[in-house]
Amino acid sequence: MYIHDSLTIDQTIAPMKRLLCMLSFVAISPYVAAQQFQRELDSLSQLMETQSVTDTATVDLRNHYTKQALFANPSDTTLLDFAEKTLEISQKMGYGRGTMLAYERMALIYQYSFSNPYKAQEFYHKALSLMEEDKKLQPYGWSIYGGIGTLYYEQEEYGKALDFFKRVLKHDKNLELTATANMANIYGSINQLDSAILYYNKALSLEQVKSNPTYKANLHSNLSLIYGQDGQVDSALVSAEKSMALIDDYGIEFVRPTAYANASMAYLGNNDYELAEKYAKLSLELSDAQGNLFLQKSAWGTLADVYAAKGDFSDALEAYKKFSVLKDSLNGQNRRVEINRKQLEFDFEKERTVTKAEIERQTTLKRATLLGGGGLLLASIFGFMLYKRRRDAVEQKKEAEFRAMVSDTELKALRAQMNPHFIFNSLNSIGDYILKNDTGTAMEYLTKFAKLMRMVLENSEFKEIPLEDDLKFLELYLQVEAKRQPGRFTYGITVEEGLDVQNILVPPLLLQPFIENSIWHGFAQKSEQGHISIGIAKQGDMLLCTVDDDGMGWQAESGVPTTKKSFGVAITESRLEILNTQKNAEGKLNITHKGRDKGTRVEVSLPLETIF
């Protein structure tokens, strides 16, 4: 049974974590050994000190230095200040290429030193906008596309990442190696193992890789992992050992933690648990020291697999928990949403600029049509295109705004649940009882009111609550209102037989605004006693909630039907809209005015959600 356990854990975990070392998207410079590299850095910084005048060469030098220094020591956070300074100098001079590259460097720093994808994305987009404005910058800008591609890759948005890398591969020969390697990584991540192996071997056969042992080590390491997944355990081990040999020979610290993690997997595939555990632990130590969360996540994942294979389940679970926590913190839904929103905003801005340019062109065109009738046709085609473009842009903007609306509406809904009107009227009623010396009733009313407020506070913490709790609230609310206006109305709550009220989930206090409307508007001017019936019933896979009164009809108060929606109705509509989008459901709000003096019926249908 325990062996079976380990298999299950393995299967559950394995597809979620692949350890492909991402290579930073940097144009490849010939490899220099660590010491030599430090010397190069030193001479670069000396060079910068000796240059007293600031010119474009200084900016280029500073940008060059930033990139080299970042990959020599990714945990050096002081580079940010340095890069900001470069940006400032370059902007002052109006040096476009320098500014664009400085933005890119800032993005790289946020991406690799701070593990902050939003900031990285923001700076990449600043760099991109410059590139879009000035066609002359284009040849230098493809690495930005590569950078954005790696960002998406980190967020596991593989389709988008692939698009970006394909563009790079098409346009920039200098970046052929990195683009090929990253595409191989992505194919690996989406389990297209044949394509992955093909692209890795393609990358390994490129001329550029010969002078760059760092890259070579990394490619072998990743290839080892993919071979392992493909069940080619022998090839996996060969590649892993090739990679580690290169790392030791050239002292390539940057790749070491991932290479160890992948080697650990390869040993695991060959059932060599001792070496597997040793390398997994080494990998964890190194990535801890680097402070790289992404690598730490991978290392814990590998360790979980190793322990599970050894039959050491408590350690496996520990490791797996650590892995999950890191994974969640790295690509929580929020981050992904944020990145998407940024992309949408950027696309929208771009569209708008294009549209604006088109409008200008169109004006010129219009003048031309005065001269030639043929132009008229052209202009109308343009007009249509413009209209379409603008409409698309508007739609994208809408989508970007939708998410913001969600939280906003939830907040408003919270307030609508307990209309301030209601609170102050309740307090007035209590005061009134006290004035009339009916302290007993005042006290009774007050305690019910306090209970109600307590429930509102407790319930509004949750997005969904059991129907049972929601009904308790409505009942109490109706009691309080009935007490406030004795003899004004009676009420009944009917729940369809067989409904499991403890197990059904509903958004809290969704019906309250309608009951409030019935009491305030339906019965306000009615001379005889009114009645509200509240019904909950199942209808297919929907839950049908109704509020039916026999009052004057909400609109009767003013004599003419109002077109303005009540606040409560508007809020409920947007809560339903959010619910529909999130659950892909078709919740509806339906208000029937039964006619003057006959009352109003409100029907809310919700997707039937249960806890279990």
Partner 1 sequence: MTIAIIDDEQHCIDHLVHLLQPHMDHVEIVSFSTVDQAIKGVDSLRPDIVFLDVQLHDNTGFDFLSSVSYRDFSLIFTTAYEKYAIEAFKFSAIAYLLKPVDRDDFEFAFQKAMDKTEQAQLHERINVLLSNVSKGNSPKRISVPHKEGYVFLLVDHVVRCQADVNYTHIYTSDGKKYTASKTLKHFEQLLAGHQFFRTHNSHLINLGFVTSYHKNGYAVLSDGAKIEVSTRRRDAFIKACAEV
Assess 447 for contact with partner 1 (CB under 8 A): yes
Sign, Cα dihedral of 171, 172, 177, 182: negative
Of 448, 472, 483, 598, which lies in the binding site for partner 1, with binding defined by CB under 8 A?
Answer: 448
CB of 12 to partner 1, least distance (A): 5
Nearer to partner 1 by Cβ, of 78 and 502: the residue is: 502
Nearer to partner 1 by Cβ, of 385 and 450: the residue is: 450
Assess 446 for contact with partner 1 (CB under 8 A): yes
Of 34, 245, 359, 443, which lies in the binding site for partner 1, with binding defined by CB under 8 A?
Answer: 443
Any idea what the Cα angle at residue 113 is, between residues 112 and 114, rounded to 5°?
100
Q: Which residues between 122 and 161 bind partner 1 (CB under 8 A)?
A: none
Q: Which residues between 480 and 509 bind partner 1 (CB under 8 A)?
A: 502-503
- Please give the order of strands across the beta sheet that includes 542-549: 489-495, 530-539, 542-549, 600-607, 588-593
Of 324, 362, 419, 533, which lies in the binding site for partner 1, with binding defined by CB under 8 A?
Answer: 324
Stretch 401-440: interaction string toward partner 1, x if CB under 8 A: ---------------------------------------x
- Distance (Å, rounded) from C-alpha 224 to C-alpha 188? 11
Choose among 215, 293, 296: nearest CA to 254: 215
What residue ranges in 374-523 does DSSP mark as E strands? Answer: 465-466, 489-495, 504-506
DSSP 155: T
Q: Per CB under 8 A, which region of 2-10, 354-362, 380-388, 410-418 contacts partner 1?
A: 2-10
Assess 198 for contact with partner 1 (CB under 8 A): no
- Distance (Å, rounded) from C-alpha 61 to C-alpha 425? 71
CB of 343 to partner 1, least distance (A): 26
Of 41, 233, 317, 589, which lies in the binding site for partner 1, with binding defined by CB under 8 A?
Answer: 317
Q: Which helix (H) or strand (E) holds 542?
A: strand 542-549
CB of 492 to partner 1, least distance (A): 20
Assess 57 for contact with partner 1 (CB under 8 A): no
Of 210, 398, 454, 538, which lies in the binding site for partner 1, with binding defined by CB under 8 A?
Answer: 454
Choose among 269, 292, 281, 282: nearest CA to 315: 281
- Distance (Å, rounded) from C-alpha 143 to C-alpha 146? 5
- Distance (Å, rounded) from C-alpha 2 to C-alpha 311? 7
Pair of tokens at residue 446: 């007050």
Contact (Cβ atoms closer than 8 angstroms) between residue 486 and residue 436: no
Assess 453 for contact with partner 1 (CB under 8 A): no
Nearer to partner 1 by Cβ, of 23 and 326: the residue is: 326
Assess 321 for contact with partner 1 (CB under 8 A): yes
DSSP 157: -
Residues in the interface with partner 1 (CB under 8 A) total: 27
Nearer to partner 1 by Cβ, of 493 and 611: the residue is: 611
Identify the burial level of 350 via C-beta atoms within 10 angstroms of its C-beta, where 0-12 means exposed, 13-18 middle and 19 or more buried: middle
CB of 610 to partner 1, least distance (A): 7
Q: Which helix (H) or strand (E) holds 323?
A: helix 313-330
Q: Which residue has the tokens 């407790």?
A: 458
CB of 209 to partner 1, least distance (A): 39
- Distance (Å, rounded) from C-alpha 161 to C-alpha 190? 12
CB of 450 to partner 1, least distance (A): 5
Q: Per CB under 8 A, which region of 8-16, 130-138, 360-368, 486-494 contacts partner 1?
A: 8-16
Q: Per CB under 8 A, which region of 312-320, 371-379, 381-389, 531-539 contacts partner 1?
A: 312-320
CB of 436 to partner 1, least distance (A): 17
SS3 of 221-286 = HHHHHHHHHCCCHHHHHHHHHHHHHHHHHHCCCCCHHHHHHHHHHHHHHCCCHHHHHHHHHHHHHH
Q: Residue 592 contacts by C-beta under 8 Å, 6 or more apart in sequence?
A: 600, 601, 602, 603
- Distance (Å, rounded) from C-alpha 125 to C-alpha 119? 10
Nearer to partner 1 by Cβ, of 37 and 313: the residue is: 313
Backbone angles phi, psi at 76, to 5 degrees: -80, 100
Q: How far apart are the first and last CA of the chain?
A: 28
Assess 582 for contact with partner 1 (CB under 8 A): no
Nearer to partner 1 by Cβ, of 207 and 461: the residue is: 461
Nearer to partner 1 by Cβ, of 198 and 293: the residue is: 293
Q: How many residues comprise the chain? A: 612
Nearer to partner 1 by Cβ, of 377 and 443: the residue is: 443
Contact (Cβ atoms closer than 8 angstroms) between residue 83 and residue 102: yes
Q: Per CB under 8 A, which region of 190-198, 292-300, 338-346, 604-612 contacts partner 1?
A: 604-612
Between the alpha carbon of residue 99 and those of residues 85, 90, 105, 339, 474, the distances in Å are 11, 5, 10, 23, 61
Nearer to partner 1 by Cβ, of 186 and 326: the residue is: 326
Assess 46 for contact with partner 1 (CB under 8 A): no
Of 57, 245, 385, 611, which lies in the binding site for partner 1, with binding defined by CB under 8 A?
Answer: 611
Assess 5 for contact with partner 1 (CB under 8 A): yes
Nearer to partner 1 by Cβ, of 441 and 580: the residue is: 441
- State the residues that interact with partner 1 by CB under 8 A: 5, 8-9, 11-12, 313-314, 317, 320-321, 324-325, 328, 440, 443-444, 446-448, 450-451, 454, 502-503, 610-612
